[in-house]
Amino acid sequence: MIRTYLLEHRAEFIEQLKCLVRFPSVSAQPAHRPDILDCADWLAQHFRSIGMDVKLCPTDGNPILVARAGVACAVPSASRAGVARAVPSASRAGAPHVVVYGHYDVQPPEPLDLWNTPPFEPVVRGGKLFGRGASDNKGQFFAHVKAVEACLKTGTPLPVNLTFLIEGEEEVGSESLMKFVKNHSRELRADYVIVSDSSMFARGLPTLTYATRGTVAVEVRIDGPSRDLHSGVFGGSVANPAVVLSRLLASCVNGDGRITIPGFYDGVMPVAAWERRMWRCLPFDPEGYRRFLGAPALAGEKGFTTLERRWARPTFEINGLTSGYQGPGGKTIVPAWASAKISCRTVPNQDPARVSRAVERHLRRQCPKSVRLTIATGSNPWFFAPPNGPGAKAALAALEKAFGGKPVCAREGGTLPILEDFRRYLRGEIILVGLGLPDDNWHSPNEKMDLGNFHRGIVMSMELLRELGASAERDCASTTKSASV
Amino acid sequence: MIRTYLLEHRAEFIEQLKCLVRFPSVSAQPAHRPDILDCADWLAQHFRSIGMDVKLCPTDGNPILVARAGVACAVPSASRAGVARAVPSASRAGAPHVVVYGHYDVQPPEPLDLWNTPPFEPVVRGGKLFGRGASDNKGQFFAHVKAVEACLKTGTPLPVNLTFLIEGEEEVGSESLMKFVKNHSRELRADYVIVSDSSMFARGLPTLTYATRGTVAVEVRIDGPSRDLHSGVFGGSVANPAVVLSRLLASCVNGDGRITIPGFYDGVMPVAAWERRMWRCLPFDPEGYRRFLGAPALAGEKGFTTLERRWARPTFEINGLTSGYQGPGGKTIVPAWASAKISCRTVPNQDPARVSRAVERHLRRQCPKSVRLTIATGSNPWFFAPPNGPGAKAALAALEKAFGGKPVCAREGGTLPILEDFRRYLRGEIILVGLGLPDDNWHSPNEKMDLGNFHRGIVMSMELLRELGASAERDCASTTKSASV
């Protein structure tokens, strides 16, 4: 019956996803604030329409959506009390409480001229939905929404008590959600937290992710003369902020791709033997990967494989450089200032605060007195949980059922800052089951969601909820049994 | 009578100069092409109105103005034949042929928000005319125009045969004028070439400039992946073009301000003893200079004074840096490309072509294979002529008469590319008598022309032409005399 529902609504689901992608919900750009609000409203309405209790919670930033349904809620509840409303807890109802996380905000779409079709006018081509946010993260969390809809609309009892937690600030650091889970940790406490905000290792290779990297963001600004100066008349007698910036940045990485900031690598966990074994079995073609990236050659820290460089090694990346004259032709000036946006990726078991201090201290030590140096930093934690808990086992089973192939366990190079807060305040086992593909162009032009993965993701979500519910029942039965002995 | 004319027309001259500054004749920005043409037309009309023969010569770039008047031309000639029209040569008329050079194009006005008043709405405040191009170069060449006007309008015979050569591409390399002086070298051949496109050493210190630096411009672009990549998912496995660019740039200059490109300093002429003696006598206050630049400290190549660094040492300056995301907030990407606009200043006796090749060779050698490197170069020559010719003597006398103080001889850090072409094709002695002041903000916001300098510059121009005419007469007389012995 559920399968029939899914088959009959395939086209409708895609149309709904297109509606969702159409919102230019760019959290980094204040001008898109109205689009953020419109997107949240649309989602709230959508959750209501499938029969969930919804609360759109205002924050200092962008609203957070909390949508709930319990094991008994095959028929929509009339209550609208929202977050604070008691959800049948795992202990009371015998069913676990599962939180499904997602984010409705997206990365800026720039550079616009590299998109084949406009980023916020989603189109389906070759079984893929193209549009900013299609894969990161709208298409992924929406698969879980559709799984729950299929249960609720077909009168199938939900196997777990469920809470969707959908935020609008993931791309700018999840600040509001961090406060929110802290302030509502009692109501939100979960047995499992499902996050589909990562990618499979390859098409057709369902993947359970057990680690992510963290970030340390550093914005550097060098101020020299009070205004742009004629480089002939004054050049040579005053520090050039762009030259100083280049020298500072160059002092952070050597020609072997090794970061030369003292203390930067402190605490870095070596790749374990079981991980190396697992990764060696992954189908990875370096030349195909290079072609996909379009770079003349792969590169990175000497002494490590490409997968190790992406998953288990920290990085120092310049995300943007700005100084002086950028228009057509030339302008012979000593620019008044120069700036760089930097983000480092951190790995287990680095201490983000120490890394941040190490970078700042190094830059300040290297910087000459002939300029003013301003540094702003921020950081987000890495995540690491070996894939051997009951949630991981349920996920591996669900992935195999839905995708029809043996799933793999992998790390992820990107960052999901909120995982640390989930670990601390929601406390359940975190399950990372990404529905993205490596060529989905996250944060790049021509982002897309594979619609095969979207539909299989819906099935995976239903299977996973069933597994989690069933494992709780088994636990309960075995506890009863052992108690009766 | 001339003095009376000048006094009576002071206010009118300023109004005319304001008209000239109002044209946004920015040669680097194609959108301003119509303004360039309007400015040239206005000037042609103006030269005609004061009684000169004018030809507005079209080029592949911006038009060149050629305005002429001969020793007999106190009354406007009716001829409009232009360049090719024979001017009484020094030998025929006994008077030297003097070319006065200037340029009506200006630097881009950006950054606009740092201007106190709009760059192309000139205003007089405190005896200064503020506006882009007021000092570089409209106000300076216009002083010579007003000197000639005063002669022609008061029926005073010009002491020399005179040609104004006013171009519209100085700020983008004078390409058209270079071709023009080569193609018209016979008609333009001169005994003296007067150029007022530099600054006095200080207010009240009239200055004869005898050397300028050259430039080698280098635009570098580093291409890495075919698109911006997610710095988490892919970062660490591919070269970051902004990191590579920073390392390349940093490899060109060391912490002592010394350029580390092999061969870069080949041929650099040491500062001569007579120059050191002269420069030591100049009133230079390093702390006042630092305050004027607004930098935390002066800096530059170790082992040299500030004046040596500005005048006699080559430099490596980054004029602009561009890469990745430059908007508000962050964007965690490995940018697809990074670029830098660089300009080096060269000094006597460096070979610009060799410097250019040295920079390119060094960058190519340092660049890793994991990115694509594109380099575009161009260069302009330095100029050097010890101040001991008859033109220099005439200039020193004229400066002293007009400004009432002992003039000084100095070098100039900026570049006047066309001087080398003047030397080669016009062949006369080149006389650099700048009317700018060091705080005129050339190439910077709030450019201004000191109106005291403007008015004294008119007097200086008349005195200089008289001296040059008189020295020719003396030479002629002494030749006759010695021949009769």
Question: CA geometry: angle at B310 spanning B308 and B315, to 5°?
Answer: 105
- Interchain CB contact of A227 with B (< 8 Å): yes
Q: How many CB atoms lie within 10 A of CB B480?
A: 9
Among B319, B344, B369, B416, most A C-beta atoms within 10 A, so best to mutate, is: B319
Residues A188 and A325 in one domain: no
Residue A10: per-residue pLDDT: 97
Residues A20 and A162 in one domain: yes
Question: Which pair of tokens denotes residue B320?
Answer: 């602009």
Residue A478 scores a pLDDT above 70: no
Q: What is the pLDDT of residues B29-43, one digit of tens each?
A: 999 999 999 999 999
The whole-number average pLDDT for the span A43-50 is 98
The whole-number average pLDDT for the span A283-295 is 95
Q: Say how far apart CA B448 and CA B122 lie, in whole Å.
A: 9
Is A446 contained in some domain?
Answer: yes
Residues B387 and B415 in one domain: yes
What is the pLDDT of chain A when averaged over all its residues?
92
Residues A200 and A233 in one domain: no
Measured between beta carbons, the chain B residues lying within 8 angstroms of A212 are 232
Measured between beta carbons, the chain A residues lying within 8 angstroms of B137 are none
Residue A479: per-residue pLDDT: 56
Point out the residues of chain B with pLDDT beneath 50: 73-92, 481-485
Is B282 contained in some domain?
Answer: no
Element (H, E) at B156: none
Residue B86: per-residue pLDDT: 38
Residues B19 and B73 in one domain: yes
- Interchain CB contact of A199 with B (< 8 Å): yes
What are the helix and strand counts (H, E) for chain A?
15, 18
Q: What is the pLDDT of residues A363-405, one digit of tens each?
A: 999 999 999 999 999 999 999 999 999 999 999 999 999 999 8
| B36, B251, B271, B355 from B262: Cα distances, Å | 41, 11, 22, 10
**Contact predicate A95/A160, CB 8 Å:** yes
Q: What's the CATH code of the domain at A368?
A: 3.30.70.360
Of the candidates B461, B434, B462, B459, the residue with the CA atom closest to the CA atom of residue B449: B434
Q: What is the pLDDT of residues A251-281, one digit of tens each?
A: 999 999 999 999 999 999 999 999 999 999 9
What is the pLDDT of chain B when averaged over all its residues?
92
- Interchain CB contact of B270 with A (< 8 Å): no
Strands B207-212 and B383-384: antiparallel
Q: Say how far apart CA A93 and CA B416 lie, in whole Å.
A: 86
Measured between beta carbons, the chain B residues lying within 8 angstroms of A135 are none
Q: Say how far apart CA B356 and CA B215 lie, in whole Å.
A: 9
Is B133 contained in some domain?
Answer: yes
Residue A234: per-residue pLDDT: 95
Range of the domain at A72: 2-212+383-481
Q: What is the Cα B445 distance to its own chain's centre?
A: 17
Residue A445 scores a pLDDT above 50: yes
Residue type, B55: K
- Interchain CB contact of B121 with A (< 8 Å): no
Name the residue of chain A whose CA is nearest to B309's CA: A236
Residues B338 and B433 in one domain: no
How many angstroms separate the CA of residue B85 from the nearest CA in chain A? 36
Is A273 contained in some domain?
Answer: no
Edge-to-edge strand ranges of the sheet holding B315-324: A372-380, A214-223, A337-346, A315-324, B315-324, B337-346, B214-223, B372-380
Residue B477: per-residue pLDDT: 65
Residues B241 and B364 in one domain: yes
CB spacing of B340 vs A242 below 8 angstroms: yes
How many angstroms separate the CA of residue A484 from the nearest CA in chain B? 51
Is B279 contained in some domain?
Answer: no
Residues B133 and B251 in one domain: no
Residues A148 and A82 in one domain: yes
Query: Which pLDDT band, with edges at 50, 70 and 90, does A25 fall under?
Result: very high
The total number of structural domains in chain B stands at: 2
CB spacing of B246 vs A250 below 8 angstroms: yes
Is A116 contained in some domain?
Answer: yes
What is this structure's pTM? 0.84
Residue B444: per-residue pLDDT: 86
Q: What's the CATH code of the domain at B36?
A: 3.40.630.10
Of the candidates A238, A263, A199, the residue with the CA atom closest to the CA atom of residue A414: A199
Interface of B with A in 288-347 (CB under 8 A): 289, 293-301, 306, 309-310, 313-335, 338, 340-341, 343, 345
Residues B367 and B397 in one domain: no
Residues B340 and B207 in one domain: no
Would you call A474 helix, strand, or coil by DSSP?
A: helix
Is A55 contained in some domain?
Answer: yes
Residues B27 and B122 in one domain: yes
Is B222 contained in some domain?
Answer: yes
Among A29, A135, A219, A246, most B C-beta atoms within 10 A, so best to mutate, is: A246
Least confident of A16-30, A115-129, B437-451: B437-451
Question: CA geometry: angle at B398 spanning B87 and B148, to 5°?
Answer: 40
Handedness of CA A382, A388, A390, A393 (dihedral sign): positive
Residue B482: per-residue pLDDT: 46
Last residue in a domain, options B356, B380, B404? B380
Last residue in a domain, options A339, A361, A380? A380
Residue pairs between chains A and B whose CB atoms are closer than 8 Å: 355
Q: What is the Cα B103 distance to its own chain's centre?
A: 8
Last residue in a domain, options A349, A380, A411? A380
Out of A199, A236, A413, whose CB is closest to B345?
A: A236
